[in-house]
Structure 1
């Protein structure tokens, strides 16, 4: 059965047209559709606030006109105005509170959705991108989206709704005065749109450069000792400063456009009121409007002018949100890790690879038709020079990567037929670069079986020769409070607790000193007992107890047998072994 599972790298063409604002907003609402009722409630309270405001304006209109004829403001209209005010205040509070609640819940949902998607990205796709850019998309871009839209849904959107109703009420009082005061709006709005147009591109460039700078910082922290040993401070600083410079340049351009919009907003806010006063006096002089009508239109112009005056900030916020959302949604569109088939239980104990071919992307094949089988309880070793395909074979068995040709059968099912999570339940893995999480020793060991009791966890801690460490001890980020040998034994204890039938070991002792290697080797023997084991071995002298050794060269298995049999062949394995022995003797001298 030949099944192709190649993964295409997502396009990153900077000239590709980004999604429109409507497309971004449609996806935003779709992702957060379970909170739509809250947004609808906020809009309904905005409409209620608008209706009450219109009634209040009409009452104020009547009060002013009656004061001009009777000289008093104490009447039914005044009482109605006070009653309406008692409804207006809580309604306005609820519209803003519900808008803020909607925004916060959307932010939480976006973060949770983002983490779930990022944690499920296909491994080969993840390898094609630097971690800093992924972290920038998953964190700072989401923050920008929330900051851009939160104020809109809690303040700006209600203001726009009130502004529309206020405009209708103002037109009803005096359409001549209202339209005359708004005559300048189209010109200002056109200028605002033109100036804000490049904001999306600037924001996208700024966030991309910020991701690059974060990646450089991650390299510095992750490889701190190497950076110090090889005096890479200046080189990394230059790369970091170059990325920060690009981010700053894009930020300056974005801010320049935003600043240019500010004076237009100021003009747009006050100009209609100045026009109303002047033209209103004229209309009153020819008896086209009363003094109460002029005052009412002036009051309504504030509610009309607020959303118009804030048009620049709203446009800027949407442009920022669009630029950041484009990057986030692009991340979400990367191919997820395949969930696999439906098989969840082993059908037999056999593991078999037949004519497996695999390459990373468009590169030449790393594995060139390898075939081997492993029976239950058998311990085999994969050896060979660097780049011969040993670790790749392990990753294919874990379904982290997907072959292009051939067959892989694990416990009686093709790897494609296994449900991916179920397959990994039957596999324990210990690598050479042990990754431990911040927390206690118990926390890290318990990850092998989260339902294990303290007694079970302590038992594997003792079996891994870690009994001198309190299980509640904080081991630090990446286990930095432990020695290299202790970290490796924690990983072994974690695999012991999982108790999976298939054990994959990727050079678990290669980075250890002699004393630490002896202790780790003892815990490995305990872990391997009774399990099917595939081990990538660096030190060939430790393979005498292995049932079978497979020697890889240039992606193919060129020799197979026990340690003694391969030594007798005097082929590639023999030369590798002799080379290591010579290096060992030289180091001893």
Structure 2
């Protein structure tokens, strides 16, 4: 479920589509919304009784000279119902909106967390963050105001209009005669607002992406003096956002005075025309007073018409970006929660290509036995890391067969498959918190003794494992981060270990520590390592050498060196420091 049942939007969704999907995602909160409308109807019904009582009291006063009668008692009773009814209507409306806001955010995070890795690789992080925060806030803000405030006002206004027509249809219709013309003018003025908002949010997403590039690659930006270039790009995106924002605000500013005219003009007409009708004995003084009171409740939704237009136009512009995010392909689901029935990892004639690019893997085949440790080597672009991504089900093969522990990879539940895999990569990601916290996520049910044992096995006993390590482990060295990742993998204790160049970015001293930690981790595991330093492969059971997505050589380090083929050339090139 990607946040609803509607297809990917190729154009800006209509207001109806936005509301339909909003209600679809928040269907579980429908009872609260219905209760809000029920109390709005109750409030408006009590309001009708109040105005009728006021009309009778005013009219009877001219005859009896007193305001204390049955109508007065009914008025007081109605007021005791009106106050709590209106409170509940507003409270439930706000509660419904807050619950919907929470659901929308939870849904968006769930969608991003399930997003297809291949799709995610084509997106800019800053733009996704902008959609999940700024765009979503705009939608929630617009529809929050509508369902919590304006929809109940419209319900009350509609009932007030019916009662007002009953009291004096001539006065009511005449007072509202100009409203349709101003409403049409407001619609025309607000027509381009959706486009302006969409341009504004896109520019905001672009600026956030540029800022993310600066913060994420700060050292590179400084080293290559990219500050001026990034500032120019950021300024251009901000200028575009400001220009689109000004265009949107210009339309909004025009709508505001028109809304005020729509609110006050009917009351002015009622006062003037009401006196005329009263003198002509077509309405009583009490009737004029009742219509004036009712006009306030009729005027609220009419005066807010421009704000409703602005909100829905804004929601439409933002919704196209949020809905597109929701509709991005998710990871394949299905499969079965299974247990290994065989030990081998098998790839047969596997082919894979990234969208719009030549094939990375071309008929790749190999198998691994339980406990065997193999290395995959090759030049840049030969498909080494792609093999790891396929085995982790981050990508799906185009052709061929992948079997893990005796089951086709498609037959596995993705989560169950990954429960049997430990992974340590080159760019180690650590979560904000302590080293202890990061290691503990490897096994959420582990005891403190088990966590400490993993820390010791990863040679982390020389570090304070309880202190905060900063965002992405900023306060740790590269070698320390890698050892934390190894300890996390030790905690998982999975039968298949995937290592993607885990020592490539380390100095000699740290490499020695990490290599020892990896040796302890790999003991007893079926291991696939993407190797950077070929000199470290002397004790590997088997080395697979890739060229153009195929295995061209297979054997031990000594065997492949004897062949003096592709592996030998790679080794010689690396040893020569070329």
- Deviation of residue 255 (structure 1)? 0.9
Matches within 5 A, 1:320-331: 320-331=314-325
Distance (whole Å) between structure 1 residues aligned to residue 382 and residue 240 of structure 2: 40
Which shows bigger deviation, 198-207 or 402-411? 198-207
- Deviation of residue 67 (structure 1)? 2.0
Q: 2:215 matched to which residue of 1?
A: 221
Distance (whole Å) between structure 2 residues aligned to residue 155 and residue 373 of structure 1: 64
Residue segments in structure 1 that go unaligned for 5+ positions in a row: 1-10, 585-589
Q: 2:478 matched to which residue of 1?
A: 484
Report SS of the residue matched to 2:374.
Answer: strand
Q: 1:3 matched to which residue of 2?
A: none
Distance (whole Å) between structure 1 residues aligned to residue 569 and residue 529 of structure 2: 20
Note if 1:459 corresponds to 2:467: no
Q: 1:55 matched to which residue of 2?
A: 49
Note if 1:176 corresponds to 2:199: no
Q: 1:536 matched to which residue of 2?
A: 530
Q: CA-to-partner distance for each residue in 1:511-534, whole Å, 9 max, x for gaps?
A: 000000000000010011111110
- Whether the aligned pair in 2 keeps the contact of 1:63 and 1:77 (CA below 8 Å) is yes
Report SS of the residue matched to 1:366.
Answer: strand
Distance 1:356 1:26, change over 3 A: same
Q: Which runs of 4+ in 1 moved over 6 A?
A: none
- Deviation of residue 18 (structure 1)? 2.0
Q: CA-to-partner distance for each residue in 1:115-162, whole Å, 9 max, x for gaps?
A: 111100100011111111111111111211121122222221111111
- Whether the aligned pair in 1 keeps the contact of 2:349 and 2:364 (CA below 8 Å) is yes
Q: CA-to-partner distance for each residue in 1:331-378, whole Å, 9 max, x for gaps?
A: 111111002422511110001111111000121001111111111111
- Deviation of residue 503 (structure 1)? 0.4
Report SS of the residue matched to 1:583.
Answer: coil
Q: 2:187 matched to which residue of 1?
A: 193
Report SS of the residue matched to 2:576.
Answer: helix
Residue segments in structure 2 that go unaligned for 5+ positions in a row: 1-6
Equivalent of 1:30 in 24, 28, 34: 24
Distance (whole Å) between structure 2 residues aligned to residue 269 and residue 113 of structure 1: 38
**TM-score (normalizing by structure 2):** 0.97
Report SS of the residue matched to 2:527.
Answer: strand
Report SS of the residue matched to 2:411.
Answer: coil
Note if 1:259 corresponds to 2:228: no
Q: 1:587 matched to which residue of 2?
A: none
Q: 1:511 matched to which residue of 2?
A: 505
- Whether the aligned pair in 2 keeps the contact of 1:200 and 1:322 (CA below 8 Å) is yes
- Whether the aligned pair in 1 keeps the contact of 2:8 and 2:327 (CA below 8 Å) is no
Equivalent of 1:342 in 336, 347, 351: 336
**TM-score (normalizing by structure 1):** 0.95
- Whether the aligned pair in 2 keeps the contact of 1:429 and 1:505 (CA below 8 Å) is yes
Q: 1:405 matched to which residue of 2?
A: 399
Note if 1:583 corresponds to 2:553: no
- Deviation of residue 187 (structure 1)? 0.2
Distance (whole Å) between structure 2 residues aligned to residue 402 and residue 153 of structure 1: 43
Distance (whole Å) between structure 2 residues aligned to residue 161 and residue 49 of structure 1: 9
Q: CA-to-partner distance for each residue in 1:394-435, whole Å, 9 max, x for gaps?
A: 100111001111111111111111111111111100000000
- Deviation of residue 197 (structure 1)? 1.6
Report SS of the residue matched to 2:359.
Answer: coil
- Whether the aligned pair in 1 keeps the contact of 2:13 and 2:319 (CA below 8 Å) is no
Instruction: Please give the root-mean-square deviation of Cα atoms over the aligned residues, in Å.
Output: 1.3
Q: CA-to-partner distance for each residue in 1:287-328, whole Å, 9 max, x for gaps?
A: 100111111111111111110010000111111122222221
Q: 1:499 matched to which residue of 2?
A: 493
Distance (whole Å) between structure 1 residues aligned to residue 149 and residue 567 of structure 2: 72
Matches within 5 A, 1:131-530: 131-530=125-524
Q: 1:8 matched to which residue of 2?
A: none
